[in-house]
Structure 1
Amino acid sequence: MKDKNIIIIVAGAIVFFLGFIAHIQYFRLRDQFIDLYKDKQMVLTKQAALNLEAFINERLKAIEVLAQMSATKPDQAEIFSEYERVFQIVKGFEYILFVDETGKAIAGYPENHPCPSRLPDSLKIGYFSAFESARLNRKIIVHSRDVVDNDRVLVCLIAPIFTEDMTFRGSVTGILNVQKSIEAALEPIITGSEDYVWVLNANGFLMYHPRHKMSLMGNIQHVQQKCFDCHQNFEFERQIMARQTGVELKSIFSNPAQLIGFATVPFENTSWLVVVNSPFRQIKALIRSQFKHMLFLILFMMGTVIIGAVLINQINKTRITARKELENIKVQKALIKEKKALESRYRILVEQSPDPIFLFTRRKFILVNASFETFFGYRGAEIYGGKLKFIGLVDAEYVHRFESEMKKFIKGKKQLTAISTAMRNKNGDFLEVQISFSRFRMGGAVVYQGVLHDVTKIKQLEREQEQRKHLSMIGEMSARIAHEIKNPLASIQTGIQLLESTVSANDPQKSYYERLRREIQRVDSILKGLLSYARHDSLSKKSVQIETLLDRFQRLILPTLKKHQLKLIVDLDPNLPSIEIDDQKMEQVLWNICLNAIQASPAGEKILIKVSSNNDSLLLKIEDHGCGIAEENLKKIFYPFFSTRTHGTGLGLAISRKIVEQHQGKLEIKTKQNVGTTVSIYLPKAEVIS
């Protein structure tokens, strides 16, 4: 059986070899015939292109001569008679026009000539574009785009007219009938043969075709359904436009094969493609005869090959199948092992990342790491149940912009993007984040990965820094104003005191002077506050017992408390350390904050000062149960001059925060309207002396 198979295979190989030799001989003979006819066709095509180029150039030269005459001869009648003479001598023109600089035909021959300015818009735009190009380039332009009149394809030869001082007077426009021109130019070559010629311009528009007159000025790039009556497609025509010169064989449906030669006719600003079609009957008959012999050889060869293939297939089928199965098993095991290793490494990286990382589809979360759960406060069952949507974590004010940027990323081709937005955790805390998104395929579905970076503190620091710069500028400006006002204010105060001394104690005017003096003192107090806020005084630090500072402060503020019928309660942790501070400035801070608490509290309420310490800082809390601060004012309370009271200067909190920050500390305010306000002052560990 084995020997039999070998004999059959060898016999088949011999037959195949003989068929292959016959096949090569057939194609060699066919190629020789085709090459011979191609050479002949190329000569014919180039001759046609040369004749057409010479015909058009002769008309271009005539138009150029008329343009030169129109620029130099003053006698218009003589010029226009020359137009008529050229029209009679140089055949092929439909019209010769004198077009002025506005595009209006003021003369021409014959008398029934058209006017370019009255052409339909579709034709006028193309003509005036060529007219303007001729003027700018000072060259003759061949315009062959969209010029069709009464089923005639026309070509405009536009020669600009410039006087000796280079003044533009217009142009001489010669209008040729393409059909008549091509037939006249190619008559010596084509007449009496079965060949025919067609012409395309540089843009692919059909300018002349004896068998497709209804498609003139149609573009092979934009064909209509009726064009497929004799064309399978227009790939061939597009290819010859790209190549510009050559010869090819083409079969058109059931029509005889055509040998098509093509060559470019160049002009100053454009070019035409001349295509010559010739029937291919003789060589086709020879090729058909050779094909019959070749077909027999091919059929015999195919039978032999099939028999050999069946035999070989039976021999190797079992062995090949077994080998493939074994290889597939090995590959699958390797892939599974590699996949598990990659998944393990990926999970380790994700779980150990300090940044929240999550995988999700457009509908639900697939995977989140521990940092994500900690950051947002949600746990596994809440996240993976499908109820929690990622868009639901985005702050309401940022949802629209976030969705817009995500849609761009999803629809776009980029694999990575970064989006800055704001989100809310489970407790409703406002969080500013930057999320780096990427996408990949998992199990045939598109999966998105997000790496979230918390930039809340960075953004807050940036805003605080910007606010400090702004407040610093306000302070400096206010200080300058205060310096300018203080001296005139002192003079006014002295003058009022002098006037007041001239008035008796019982004089009614005495009260007016006293009122003026109080208002001047109030203005002076405001100016002192401005100068205090603007000055960058260094601190005079010394070791102070917090109990001593608060005891002195209680005696200072006690009269004000009694006036408003309020009580001050001081709560101190035992064993408080001494602190190194500027006690005068820190006393000013306590005064400003407690004064605000007094003014906000109703009679009978209590104000609490609580002092505690931990490993990091000393904390002073001032609590009141007053009216609180409106939410819309909370962001403005540290601005200089911001005050909700009629007689307030709006400098107390601004100065207090500045003093605390000079001590490297921090001042925070928490408030709830109609409940009360808590002011916390933190002095860092560096400021504490045990």
Structure 2
Amino acid sequence: MSGYDERLTALYEISRSLQTLDLEEVLRLILDGVTKTIGFDRARLYLVDEKEGVLKCRMAVGVDLDLIDSIVFPLEPESSVVARAACERRPYIIRDALNDPRVNKEVVEKLKIKSFVAVPMIGRERVVGVISADNLHSQREITEEDFKLLVTFVNQAGVAIENAEMYEELKELNRSLEERVREAMRELEESHRQLMQSEKLAALGRIAAGIAHELRNPLSSIKILFHSLVEEFELDKKRPEDVEVMRSQIERMEELIRRFLDFARPSAPLPQWVDLSEVVENTVSLLEHQMRGSDISLRMELAPGLVVFADRDHLRQMIFNLTLNAVQAMPEGGELRIRTERLPGEALVEISDTGEGIPEEIMDRIFEPFFSTKEEGIGLGLSIVERIVKEHKGRIEVESSPGKGATFRVYLPIEG
């Protein structure tokens, strides 16, 4: 058997291996056939990028890796012989690369090419790429036999590449479809969760409203009777401590009823342009006496002129609830840090405490209505905060570590 026949047989065996659908493996087998079997010193495999309209060097043998990515030819015959081979669907053998006007001189100089071949790889209907090869190291002349073998081999390689590319596209399409299905399932689950939450909140709202009304009437009678007894028997002089306890308990019950009603029947927001830092400062001042009594130091960093389009009363309630929550988290004292900041397109309110922090196992539940870890808490403060943040199209984040306190960050859009 002649050398030509031996190489042809070897190429046939390689062609059978090209049935694999792994694109990287297909390209490697093609380059092995060009260099190890046909005998070229170096080979470059270019693939067509139809979106960008170029030929890109995808893989090579005998070429420095840092050069591969830099070799790109526009799909225009005038740009290079490689592009011309793709555009005209015909192979080329260039004997004098330095003087041939069809050759891209920049690439020839980079790769130190003297003579080379460029053969298009054609799939079923389209050109998928080009093989370019040379004998730089051995300086062996490219024979007609080499050229013929390369053309024969590359004709089969084009279909193999097209099959592998189609398989890659199919896998990518499948991955995309799976991701879309997962996303649709997540959206469906979230919609279901929100629906259940809405129904739950509506039911809780009706219960809260009923409780508030059931408590308000008898509490009004108790309050009137209490004031009458205090005045008639001068109890504030005779038993001042007991009177103060009763007064504080009545006020606490009134506050509970107010919270129940706020939760059950939230007032519609009346947005206007308000200075967020000013609202923070005025609201926090309402709790300063409680902080002094609890040995809590206050540090505020407020950005001037931080104007947002929001409901002033709702903002005040949101800040009050978050600040009170932080104060109550530090019964033994600590530091309360409050700051505002202007960010791109939004305003930040950050409230931090140095209390015990929020246990990780309940972090997902802190915004649930009526969920509280405090003995005297009713669990509506943070639920109302979340509702106010959402009605202003903002978002709230919580960061906490056991023993290191908690930080609540509220982001509100600056635009109206």
One fold, TM greater than 0.5? yes
2:258 is the counterpart of 1:528: yes
Per the alignment, in what secondary structure is the counterpart of residue 646 of structure 1? coil
User: Following TM superposition, by how much is the alpha carbon of 1:491 offset from its aligned partner in structure 2, in angstroms?
Assistant: 1.3
Q: Is the 8 A contact 1:666 1:682 kept in 2?
A: yes
- Map Cα deviations across residues 1-31 of structure 1 (whole Å, 9 max, x no partner): xxxxxxxxxxxxxxxxxxxxxxxxxxxxxxx
Determine the structure 1 residue equivalent to 2:208. 478
Partner of 2:409: 680
Counterpart of 1:528, as a letter, is R
Q: Equivalent residue for 1:466?
A: 196
User: 2 CA distance for matches of 1:566 and 1:522?
Assistant: 23
| Cα shift at 1:435 | 7.0
Pairing 1:637–2:366 present: yes
2:161 to 335, 340, 355: 340
2:277·2:340 contact (CA, 8 Å) conserved in 1? no
Matches within 5 A, 1:309-348: 337-348=158-169
Quickly say closer, same or farther: Cα 1:498–1:604, change in 2 above 3 A.
closer
Matches within 5 A, 1:380-399: none
Shift of 1:500: 3.4
Within 5 A, what are the aligned runs for 1:442-591?
453=183, 456=186, 459-460=189-190, 462-505=192-235, 512=242, 514-573=244-303, 577-591=306-320
Residues 1:680 and 1:628: Cα distance change in structure 2 (over 3 Å)? same
| Amino acid in the other structure paired with 1:470 | K
Task: Give the Cα separation in 1 of the matches to 2:303 and 2:225.
Answer: 54
CA shift for structure 1 position 490: 0.8
Letter in 1 for 2:198: R
1:12-54 CA distances to partner (integer Å, 9 max, x unpaired)?
Answer: xxxxxxxxxxxxxxxxxxxxxxxxxxxxxxxxxxxxxxxxxxx
1:649-660 map, 5 Å: 649-660=378-389
- The aligned counterpart of 2:343 is 614
| RMSD over aligned Cα atoms | 3.4
SS at match of 2:388: helix
Partner of 2:323: 594
Post-superposition shift, 1:686?
A: 3.7
TM-fit CA distance, 1:628: 0.9
More displaced stretch, 470-479 vs 588-597: 470-479
Return the offset for 1:508. Answer: 6.7
User: How does 1:132-531 map onto structure 2 within 5 Å?
Assistant: 337-348=158-169, 350=171, 356=175, 453=183, 456=186, 459-460=189-190, 462-505=192-235, 512=242, 514-531=244-261
* Separation in structure 2 between the aligned mates of residue 655 and residue 552 of structure 1, nearest angstrom: 20
> Structure 1 pair 606/514, CA: closer, same or farther in 2 (3 Å)?
closer
Q: Specify the code of the residue in structure 1 equivalent to 2:329.
A: A
Indicate how the Cα distance of structure 1 residues 506 and 348 shifts in structure 2: closer, same or farther if over 3 A, else same. closer
Alpha-carbon separation, structure 2, partners of 1:514 and 1:573: 40
Deviations, residues 139-159 of structure 1 (Å, cap 9, x unaligned): xxxxxxxxxxxxxxxxxxxxx
Cα 1:537–1:606 shift into 2, 3 Å: same
Shift of residue 596 of structure 1? Answer: 1.0
Which amino acid in the other structure matches residue 624 of structure 1? D
Tell me the SS of whatever aligns to 2:161. helix
Identify the residue that residue 63 of structure 2 maps to in structure 1.
none
State whether residues 503 and 509 of structure 1, in contact with CA within 8 Å, keep that contact through their aligned partners in structure 2: no
- Does the aligned pair in 1 maintain the 2:309–2:415 contact within 8 Å? no
Structure 1 residues 457 and 634: alpha-carbon distance in aligned structure 2, compared to 1, 3 A threshold: farther
Distance 2:337 2:192 in 1: 33
Give how far 1:530 is off. 0.4
Residues 1:670 and 2:399 aligned together: yes
Distance 1:538 1:506 in 2: 41
* Offset, 1:348: 4.3
Task: Give 1:641's aligned amino acid.
Answer: F
Post-superposition shift, 1:547? 2.9
Q: Which digits, 9 at most, give the CA deviation of each residue in 1:586-613, with x for residues without a partner?
A: 1111111111111112655222223223
Aligned equivalents of 1:602, 1:494: Cα separation in 2: 33
Equivalent position SS for 1:537? coil
Give the deviation of 1:503 after TM superposition: 2.6
Distance 1:519 1:547, change over 3 A: closer
What TM-score results when the alignment is normalised by the length of structure 1?
0.35
Distance 1:512 1:545 in 2: 42
Structure 1 residue 652 displacement after superposition: 0.9
Q: CA deviation at 1:513?
A: 5.5
Contact kept, 8 Å, 1:356 with 1:453, in 2: the verdict is: no
Amino acid at match of 1:589: M
Aligned to 2:286, the other structure's residue is in SS state helix
CA distance in 1, matches of 2:326, 2:240: 36
Alignment partners' CA distance in 2, 1:627 and 1:435: 40
Q: After TM superposition, list the pairs within 5 Å mapping 1:33-44 onto structure 2.
A: none
Q: Which structure has the larger Rg over C-alpha atoms?
A: 1
Q: SS where residue 489 of structure 1 aligns? A: helix
Is the Cα contact below 8 Å between 2:223 and 2:250 reproduced in 1? yes
User: Secondary structure of 1:343's match?
Assistant: helix
Go from structure 1 to structure 2 and tell me whether the alpha carbon gap of 1:493 and 1:596 turns closer, same or farther (over 3 Å shift): same
3-state SS in 2 of match to 1:644: coil
Aligned residue identity for 1:560: Q
Which residue identity is paired with 1:662? Answer: E
Note closer, same or farther for the CA distance 1:466–1:613 as it changes in structure 2 (3 Å cut): farther
* 1:380-403 deviations in Å (ceiling 9; x for gaps): xxxxxxxxxxxxxxxxxxxxxxxx
Aligned residues: 266
Q: Letter of the 1:655 partner, please give it.
A: I
Cα distance 1:356–1:597, how it changes in 2: closer, same or farther (>3 A)?
farther
Matched residue SS, 1:642: coil
Relative to structure 1, is the Cα distance of residues 472 and 602 closer, same or farther in structure 2, using a 3 angstrom cutoff? same
Q: CA deviation at 1:663?
A: 1.3
Paired with 1:521 and 1:602, the residues of 2 have a C-alpha distance of: 21
The structure, 1 or 2, with the larger RCO (C-alpha pairs under 8 Å, 6+ apart) is: 2
- In the TM superposition, residue 664 of structure 1 has moved relative to its aligned partner by 1.8
SS for the counterpart of 2:295 is coil
Q: 1-side partners of 2:295 and 2:200: how far apart? A: 39
* Aligned residues of 1:624 and 1:678 also touching (Cα < 8 A): yes
Cα deviation, residue 625, structure 1 = 1.8
Give the superposition deviation at 1:509.
Answer: 6.8
2:354 to 625, 628, 637: 625
Q: Cα–Cα, structure 1 residues 499 and 572, in superposed 2: closer, same or farther, change >3 Å? A: closer
- Give the conservation status (yes or no) of the 8 Å contact 2:269–2:311: yes
Shift of 1:629: 1.2
